[in-house]
A and B are shown apart, each in its own frame.
Chain A
Amino acid sequence: QVQLQESGPGLVRPSQTLSLTCTVTGGSVSRGPFYWSWIRQHPGKGLEWIGYISDTGSIYYNPSLRSRMTISLDTSKNQFSLKLSSVTAADTAVYYCARVDVLSGYYYVDYWGPGTLVTVSS
């Protein structure tokens, strides 16, 4: 059974960089085809796709966040990571890591992490 778990600071100061890691167990991040994704949910709001990285290293970023984002894959640790720079209060959200199934050809999230709340505040 594939499991994903987010980790990282729950509090980030404004203008600093938010850094999160997702550890995958029960499956390999280098064995695809999957898209390893980050999705966020502002408090009491809907879901926003941040970006994803494939098992082969192809990356897609949400254009609205692209200039501040980096997503990377660490196959040696079976992890993938998100860095979001110059954060503001508008980046306060629950951040989910997730796996997108690509093999079926229909691209849906079949596994989610439990989510981690990141608050941007001084």
Chain B
Amino acid sequence: DVQLTQSPSSLSASVGDRVTITCRASQSVTTYLNWYQQKPGKAPKLLIYAASRLQSGVPSRFSGSGSGTDFTLTISPLQPEDFATYYCQQSYSTLYSFGQGTKLEIK
């Protein structure tokens, strides 16, 4: 099974900041890595697929990079509506898996 480890588990930031969330895979997933945003009481929403491709309708302040085992999600500049929990997810192996999540809070 592919394990995904996100860091940090939580972070505080201010509107206008640049933030980076990291996702590390236990083995190479090439670029089969996706990022989602989840707000309380809501289903997750796709932001980035294939490591770096922006989903249609998602603001360009979201960007993704990486390949193999190390990936990043960057948000810049932070907007008030971006405070949420973010998950990475791999679809390289048939047992799809998610990272444990990163909670982004207002400083």
Contacts and interface: CB of A to CB of B under 8 A. Distances in A.
- SS class of chain A's interface: helix, strand, loop or mixed? strand
A119 to B, nearest CB: 16
Contact of B46 (A48, A96, A110, A115): A110
Contact of B100 (A46, A98, A107, A110): A46
Interface residues on A, range: 20 to 34
Contact of B94 (A60, A96, A104, A106): A60
B36 interface: yes
Contacts of B96: 49, 107
A46 B94 contact: no
A114 B43 contact: yes
Interface of B: 31-32, 34, 36, 42-46, 49-50, 53, 55, 87, 89, 91, 94-101
